[in-house]
Structures are given as structure tokens and as C-alpha cells.
């Protein structure tokens, strides 16, 4: 069976190398932040965003516990504010939309109103041969709507500059799926 998390990592690893800059747009509990930090190494840089203090606390602890390089800046800010904090090209960006896992706060989710501006900002930062990965969780209403909105938006991108793809399990409509956008 397809392991979506491993598939996501393989797409990122085709673009992201030691010394690169990456952004985790939805920090959560730090899984993607750790992956990006370890991938870019000590000479690279990672910015990670979340609006919940609990996300920063758990991510900071996870980075320390796993001995990650000191290459991460944690931002207690919405992902749509990325351009206030990141002013250099990025090689990879990851979004894991939805709510903070294991927080017990499913009412706090990413929202279309901030997700679309964040994705547009991410694409404006994407360097040549860069990648943006957006994981969608359609099992709740806002997640379903975010996925539809992003699918419509990605369909409008100039394919001579950006290649947008969607990866999903077609016989499981509420399972997570993801988009990738690769720059040429």
C-alpha cells in the first residue's frame, strides 16, 4: 500500500539538499520541522510557523530531543505572514493543513482565508527547482473546502513555470491527500 508520508518525503528530498532554506508553514507538533531541519543540516535554515503556543513548545522539545541542528526559527505567527519573516528564496515548503494533532482543540484549524494567501506567498518565495507540498485533510468541512479551493487555484498556474500535481487514494474520499507544486 502507498505510504503517503514516505511519498511526501521522497518528493521533498528530490529538491531539498544540505545548506538550503525551507519553511514549515504549519508547525503542528514538529514532525515536518524536524525532517526539514535534518535534511538541510547545520548550514541550512528552516522557518516554522504556527499560531498556537502549544505547537512551538512541542516542536522546540522535539527538536532538542532528536538532537536537530540549531538551524530552525520558530515563529508564533500565521503562515500567511511568512513574507514578514522570510526574505530569501526557499527550496522547499510544507503545509499540513487542519488542526494541531493530539491538542484536543479540533475547532482551531487552518482556514481558507489565510491558507490561500500563505500558499501564494510561498510560491513567490520558491526558488528554481523548488517544491511546495500541501497536505489536505478532507475529513472535516474546512479541510474539504481548503482542498477544493487549492485545487482550483493550482489549476490556474502557468505550467511553463510551475508544475502542480495531486496525489490521493481515489477509493478513500476522506483520506488525506496532497498537492505538490514544483518550479522549473
β-pairing, 177-183 vs 126-136, is antiparallel
Instruction: Round to whole Å and give the CA distance between 21 and 92.
Output: 7
* Domain CATH code at residue 23: 3.40.50.150
Pick the more confident residue, 138 or 9. 9
Task: Specify the number of domains making up the chain.
Answer: 1
Give tens-digit pLDDT for 131-163.
Answer: 999 999 888 788 889 999 999 999 999 999 999
Confidence (pLDDT) at 45: 98
Query: Model-level pTM?
Result: 0.93
- Domain of 176, in residue numbers: 4-183
Where does the pLDDT of residue 105 fall: very low under 50, low under 70, confident under 90, or very high at 90 and above?
A: low
Instruction: Round to whole Å and give the CA distance between 179 and 167.
Output: 6
Give tens-digit pLDDT for 52-94.
Answer: 899 999 999 999 999 999 999 999 999 999 999 999 999 999 9
Give tens-digit pLDDT for 11-53.
Answer: 999 999 999 999 999 999 899 999 999 999 999 999 999 998 9
Other CB atoms within 10 Å distance of the CB of residue 152: 10
Where does the pLDDT of residue 101 fall: very low under 50, low under 70, confident under 90, or very high at 90 and above?
A: low
Where does the pLDDT of residue 108 fall: very low under 50, low under 70, confident under 90, or very high at 90 and above?
A: low
Burial of 43 (0-12, 13-18, 19+ CB in 10 A): exposed
3 state SS of 161: coil
Mean pLDDT of the chain: 92
Instruction: Determine phi and psi for 172, rounding to 5 degrees.
Output: -145, 80
Amino acid at each position: 500500500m502507498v505510504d503517503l508520508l514516505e511519498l511526501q518525503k521522497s518528493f521533498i528530498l528530490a529538491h531539498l539538499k544540505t545548506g538550503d532554506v525551507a519553511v514549515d508553514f504549519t508547525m503542528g507538533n514538529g514532525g515536518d520541522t524536524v525532517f526539514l531541519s535534518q535534511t538541510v543540516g547545520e548550514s541550512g535554515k528552516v522557518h516554522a510557523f504556527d499560531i498556537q503556543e502549544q505547537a512551538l513548545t512541542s516542536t522546540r522539545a522535539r527538536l532538542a530531543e532528536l538532537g536537530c541542528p540549531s538551524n530552525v526559527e520558530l515563529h508564533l505567527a500565521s503562515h500567511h505572514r511568512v513574507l514578514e519573516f522570510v526574505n530569501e528564496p526557499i527550496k522547499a515548503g510544507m503545509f499540513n493543513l487542519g488542526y494541531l494533532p493530539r491538542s484536543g482543540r479540533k475547532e482551531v484549524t487552518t482556514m481558507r482565508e489565510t491558507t490561500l494567501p500563505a500558499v501564494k506567498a510561498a510560491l513567490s518565495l520558491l526558488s528554481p527547482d523548488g517544491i511546495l507540498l500541501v497536505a489536505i485533510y478532507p475529513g472535516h468541512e474546512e479541510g474539504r473546502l481548503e482542498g477544493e479551493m487549492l485545487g482550483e487555484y493550482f489549476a490556474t498556474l502557468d505550467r511553463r513555470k510551475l508544475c502542480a500535481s495531486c496525489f490521493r487514494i481515489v477509493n478513500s474520499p476522506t483520506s488525506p491527500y496532497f498537492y505538490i507544486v514544483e518550479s522549473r
